[in-house]
Structure 1
């Protein structure tokens, strides 16, 4: 990690996850092959745990029932985050009601009562971040400048246990 970047902490991870409209959730199938799906985080807790709705009848849910270890990936201009964690299927109609919104309805034909609707919570274990300082706009400016000048953008990486 370069000297100009602060150490990654829990608040950084929560902030990056909260700012992400779509993440990639990677699971391992029984044969060891990795399966990644774009997912919409419904909620990120102060502990960097992430709630998602999931289709219960697909390959992803099947893989998660066998192996609950997952990776959440965020990639955006100048900012990359990888979060390792464990999935727990949660049967909680009150939590479904709390997290439900119109965008979720488009994926589940029978709404909140759809038999395919599942809720999972990823309990985050650790995170690794590679990035540039100053947020998205600053990162874009640094990337453009590096292309023009041929100089490296700087930045660095850090890992933290959550």
Structure 2
């Protein structure tokens, strides 16, 4: 897992991206779809609204292991988070996280019996953050191509958990 400080670092990287690609296994085939964060803070668990009847729900019931990836090319931020997914029917949390964006996807409202939350408890991950401008990154790539033993230094990379 990660420390409270590291969780805050991860949250700072993904909170403005908002949409991550959720990867589940459809039998033996990885499948990704966009999911929109609904929370305002991160404590090691990510929350998303879903339809209980959605294929991703069946996929996570068969195999709870999932991966979420977030990227912001403009800021050079890339985050991959792996963990366990569960469908949660907690009316208090549904009420807490309900908002106009979510309501647009659920025209029957938050009391629709098909409305549920997908909880992802993050167990491990990796993130990358470019520290320099795109011009500097291109320079680093060109320099690495000229030197046989060099690799480009494009910024921070860190693995955690697992």
User: Structure 2 length normalisation: TM-score?
Assistant: 0.80
Number of the residue aligned with 1:19: 16
CA change 1:84–1:11 in 2 (3 A) is same
**Pairs aligned (count):** 147
Q: Is the 8 A contact 1:89 1:120 kept in 2?
A: yes
Question: Deviation of residue 81 (structure 1)?
Answer: 0.5
Alignment of 1:11-50 (within 5 A): 11-29=8-26, 31-43=27-39, 45-50=41-46
Residues 110-146 of structure 1: per-residue CA shift (max 9 Å, x gap): 010223211121111011012212xxxxx5xx11344
Instruction: Give 3-state SS (helix, strand or coil) of 2:78's partner.
Output: strand
CA shift, 1:156, in A, is: 4.0
Quick one: which of 111, 127, 130 aligns to 2:128?
130
SS in 2 for 1:11: helix
Does residue 1:71 correspond to 2:80, yes or no?
A: no
After the TM superposition, which parts of structure 1 deviate over 6 Å for at least 4 consecutive aligned residues?
none
Of structures 1 and 2, the one with the larger relative CO (CA 8 A, separation 6+) is: 1
Using the TM superposition, give the Cα deviation of residue 45 of structure 1 relative to its aligned residue in structure 2, in angstroms.
4.3
Structure 1 unaligned blocks of 5 or more? 1-7, 134-138
Are 2:132 and 1:144 equivalent residues in the alignment?
Answer: no
Distance 1:43 1:157, change over 3 A: same
CA contact (8 A) 1:23 1:73 kept: yes
Q: Secondary structure at the match of 2:89?
A: coil
